[in-house]
């Protein structure tokens, strides 16, 4: 059976940055505007006044300091509070396809010839699909692309989540080791997936909405979560998943040189690593890109791997792990060749 390796990664960084300071200024202006419009019902106790946000609140709650967005226009407008995308014709690429093609062309120029392309809402899930294709001999080289335009579904008007997401696109090249020529190769020791149903992270947007005569701009049509519940449930699930996956390969968490984890919350990642290795884990063991990119959904763990793997030596082991809505968890154990 052919051995599968990661032989390259790519990263598309959108052109615009939204800082926490900019975000707070826009949100607080919107909150003040809404409180003024609803002053009477608030005074009667029939509604609750919107609470202002702050940079300190955002950084303490998440560790995020900024985020990249494909389109900044509209995001910071207190009368709009969402990106202003241009509608595209039937003969044009979608926005997600456009950035995926851009990153594919960049990697293709590096000498890769892709037999299979996979675009997926979870990088680790798609990596397993590509690995299986390589190991079966059906393809020699596969490209996993993860375009994330999360700015379109975040609720910029909600203090509890207006800071969470950013846009990005990542790519991972999965090849057969016997044909890979890249000097930077990572043997894929094992992959493992898990799902457990949860309603704690969701939105209700979909094609049936118009038949329900529901408001397309209603709060439930954008991202929402029960944050404390997610934290409480996902941390032990992710830690147990990684530990069991390593054990199945005869490995222990303490043998790992690095963990490239999903980038959703700094405290969540720190607690997962504490459960795994029994001590506080710094950026050397679990690098953070959350502060710069925010939560980029499926792309976060791949951004971390892309930016923080060059210093590892042949034989060093690590785990790439994504987790989140669903709940779904995927892990990839890798060894530097």
Q: What is the pLDDT of residue 121?
A: 62
Reply yes or no on domain 186-336 having CATH 3.40.1180.10: no
Q: Please say whether the beta carbons of 222 and 82 come within 8 A.
A: no
Q: What is the pLDDT of residue 2?
A: 87
Could you tell me how many residues make up the chain? 337
Q: What is the pLDDT of residue 203?
A: 92
- What's the angle, vertex CA 273, arms to CA 270 and CA 275, rounded to 5? 110
| Spatial distance between the Cα atoms of 188 and 262, rounded to a whole number of angstroms | 18
Q: What is the pLDDT of residue 106?
A: 86
In the chain, the largest separation of any two C-alpha atoms, in whole Å, equals 73
* Of 116 and 306, the one with more pLDDT: 306
pLDDT > 90 in the chain, percent? 87
**pTM (2 d.p.):** 0.94
Give the chain's mean pLDDT: 94
The answer to whether residue 46 scores a pLDDT higher than 90 is yes
* Of 111 and 37, the one with more pLDDT: 37
**Given pLDDT bands bounded at 50, 70 and 90, which one contains residue 137?**
very high
**Given pLDDT bands bounded at 50, 70 and 90, which one contains residue 204?**
very high
Is 120 among the residues known to form the active site? yes
Q: What is the pLDDT of residue 107?
A: 87
Q: What is the pLDDT of residue 130?
A: 93
Mean pLDDT on 312-332: 95
Q: What is the pLDDT of residue 235?
A: 95
**Given pLDDT bands bounded at 50, 70 and 90, which one contains residue 212?**
very high
**Given pLDDT bands bounded at 50, 70 and 90, which one contains residue 281?**
low
Mean pLDDT on 81-85: 97
Q: Map tokens 């294709």 to a residue.
A: 133
Domain boundaries, the chain: 4-176, 186-336
The answer to whether residue 120 scores a pLDDT higher than 90 is no
Mean pLDDT on 117-128: 80
Q: What is the pLDDT of residue 125?
A: 85
Q: What is the pLDDT of residue 115?
A: 82
For the chain, report the end-to-end CA distance as a whole number of angstroms. 18
Q: What is the pLDDT of residue 105?
A: 87
> In 3D, which of 111, 165, 169, 180 has the Cα closest to residue 144?
169
Domain spanning 4-176: which CATH class is it, in words? alpha beta
Tokens describing residue 9: 């990664």
Q: What is the pLDDT of residue 90?
A: 96
Instruction: Give yes or no on whether 4-176 and 186-336 have one common fold.
Output: yes
| Spatial distance between the Cα atoms of 272 and 270, rounded to a whole number of angstroms | 6
Q: What is the pLDDT of residue 214?
A: 93
Ranges 120-124, 163-167, 222-226: which has the least confidence: 120-124
């Amino acid at each position: 059976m052919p051995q599968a390796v990661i032989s390259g990664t790519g990263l598309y960084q959108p052109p615009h940055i939204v800082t926490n300071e900019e975000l707070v200024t826009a949100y607080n202006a919107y909150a003040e505007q809404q409180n003024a419009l609803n002053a009477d019902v608030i005074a009667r106790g029939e509604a609750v006044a919107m609470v202002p946000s702050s940079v300190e609140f955002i950084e303490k709650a998440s560790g995020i300091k900024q985020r990249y967005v494909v389109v900044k226009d509209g995001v910071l407008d207190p009368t709009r509070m969402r990106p202003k995308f241009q509608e595209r014709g039937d003969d044009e690429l979608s926005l997600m396809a456009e950035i995926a093609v851009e990153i594919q062309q960049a990697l293709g120029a590096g000498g890769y010839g892709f037999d299979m392309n996979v675009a997926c809402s979870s990088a680790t899930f798609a990596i397993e699909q590509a690995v299986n294709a390589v190991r079966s001999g059906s393809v020699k080289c596969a490209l996993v692309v993860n375009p994330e335009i999360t700015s379109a579904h975040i609720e910029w008007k909600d203090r509890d989540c207006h800071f969470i997401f950013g846009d990005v696109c990542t790519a991972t090249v999965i090849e057969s080791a016997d044909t890979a020529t890249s000097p930077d190769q990572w043997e894929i020791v094992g992959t493992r997936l898990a799902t457990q149903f949860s309603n704690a992270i969701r939105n209700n947007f979909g094609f049936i909405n118009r038949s329900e005569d529901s408001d397309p701009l209603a709060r439930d049509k954008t991202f929402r979560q029960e944050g404390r519940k997610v934290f409480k449930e996902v941390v032990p699930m992710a830690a147990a998943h990684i530990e069991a996956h390593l054990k199945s390969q005869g490995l222990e968490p303490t043998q790992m040189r690095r963990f490239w984890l999903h980038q959703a919350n700094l405290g969540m990642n720190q607690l997962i690593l504490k459960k795994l290795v029994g001590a506080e884990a710094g950026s050397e063991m679990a690098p953070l890109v959350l502060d710069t990119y925010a939560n980029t959904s499926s792309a976060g763990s791949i951004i971390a791997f892309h930016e923080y793997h060059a210093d590892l030596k042949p034989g060093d082991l690590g785990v790439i792990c994504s987790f989140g809505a669903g709940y779904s968890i995927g892990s990839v154990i890798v060894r530097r060749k």
